[in-house]
Amino acid sequence: MFLQQLINGLVLGSTYALIALGYTMVYGIIELINFAHGEIYMFGAFVGMYLVTVFKVPFVIAFLLAMVLASLLGVTVEFLAYRPLRRSSRLAALISAIGASIFLQNLALLVMGPRPYTFPSPFTPKVYKTSLVTISRVEIIILVISFLLMIGLTFLIQKTKIGKAMRATAQDKDAASLMGINIDLVITVTFAVGSALGAAAGVMVGIYFRTVTPMMGLMPGLKGFVAAVLGGIGSIPGAMLGGLLLGIAEVMGAAYISSQYRDAIAFAILIIVLLFKPAGLIGRFMQEKV
C-alpha cells in the first residue's frame, strides 16, 4: 500500500515538477511570478488533444508540436503583457500576469465551451503488476518523459552557451548585459523553455486522465507555484524536488489522513514553508541587488 501510494505520488509530483520549473525559471530571471503559466499548460493540453483527435497526428509529433506552440504562446504573453512593464514596478507586472491568466482562461471558455473534451490515450492500456505494486504503461511513460525533460533542462542550463547566459542574467541582469548578453533574447528563451515544459505536463496529464477542459490549468497552476516555493523559488533543482515532494505529500495525506483534505494539505505546506523556511528547501535568500 505504502509503496503503491509512493508511486502514485511520484507520477503526480513529476507533473507538478514540470509546471514548477516554468514558474521558477521565469522568477529566476525576471523575478516575476508568471500566473499565466497554468493556462499555458492548459493550452498545451488542448493543442495535443486537437492534433491527436482531429488531425490524427502521431502522438510523438503532437507532443512536440504542443510544446512548440505553447512556447510561442508563452513568448507572446511575455511580449504583450510583461515586456512593456519591464521598467515599471514588479507589482504592475504581477497584476498583468493575473490579467493574462484570467484572459486566457476565459478565451478558452469562450472558444471551447465549458464541457470536458476527451483525450484518447494513444497507448494501448497495459498494467504491470507485481506483488507489491501495479503501475500502468501511461504512468511509466509520464515518469520517463518527465525525468528526461528535467535532465535535458539541466543540460541546457549547465552546458550550453544560452544556459550560461541564463545563469548570468539570473545573477545580475545589468552586469550580464554589460558582458554582451542579449537580455531580451535570454528572457524570450526562458519563457519558451518554461512554457514548453508546462505544455509537456499538460499533454501528459491530458492522456493520463483522458480529459481536457478550459479550467484544467487552474489548480495545477497553483500547485506548481506551491511546488516552486516549496523547493525555493528561482532554484531549478528546488522546483524538481518541490514538485515531487508536493505530489507525494498530497497522495500520502489523502491516503493516511483524509481524502477530503487533499488540496488543503498542499496549501498548508505552502504556509508552513513560508513561515519556517521562506527561502524554500534548497533555495537561498540572495542579497538585494543595488
Partner 1 sequence: MYRKKFFWVTLLVFGLILAMVTGCTQPETTTPQDGDEPDGPVAGADVVKVGMVGPLTGGAATYGISVRNGAQIAIDEANENEEIPGVTLEFISEDTEGDWSKAANAFSKLIEQNKVDVIVGAVLSSETEAGGPIAMSGKVPTISPSSTATGLTIGNPYLFRNCLSDEVQASQLAEYANVELGFEKFAILYTNNDYGVALKDAFEETAKELAEVVAVEAFMDNDENFKPQLTSIQRKDPEAIFVAGYYTEAAKIAQQALEQGLEVQFFGADGFYSPVLMEIGQDAVEGAIFTAGFHSGDESPVVQNFVNKYRQLFNEEPDMFAAQAYDAARIVIEAMKSKGTSSEQIREGLAEIKDFPGITGNTSIDEEGDTLKDVLILKVEDGVFQRLR
Residues that bind partner 1 (CB under 8 A): 1, 4-5, 8, 11-12, 33, 35, 90-91, 94-95, 98, 102, 105, 109, 113-116, 118, 125, 127, 129, 134, 136, 138, 205, 209-211, 214-216, 218-219, 222, 225, 250-251, 254-255, 258-260, 262-263, 267, 274, 278, 288
Min. distance of Cβ 259 from partner 1 in angstroms? 5
Report the SS3 class of residue 127.
strand
Min. distance of Cβ 68 from partner 1 in angstroms? 25
Question: Which is nearer to partner 1, 92 or 183 (by Cβ)?
Answer: 92
- Closest by CA position to 191, among listed 100, 116, 118: 100
Contact 145, 245 (CB under 8 A): no
Contact 234, 24 (CB under 8 A): yes
Min. distance of Cβ 108 from partner 1 in angstroms? 10
- Closest by CA position to 235, among listed 184, 189, 167: 167
Distance CA 241, CA 13 (A): 9
Min. distance of Cβ 136 from partner 1 in angstroms? 4
Min. distance of Cβ 181 from partner 1 in angstroms? 23
CA angle 278, 7, 61 (to 5 degrees): 95
Question: Which is nearer to partner 1, 45 or 67 (by Cβ)?
Answer: 45
Q: In 113-159, which residue ranges form alpha helices assigned H by DSSP?
A: 137-159
Question: Which is nearer to partner 1, 64 or 94 (by Cβ)?
Answer: 94
Question: Which is nearer to partner 1, 155 or 256 (by Cβ)?
Answer: 256
φ/ψ of 83, rounded to 5, equals -60, -45
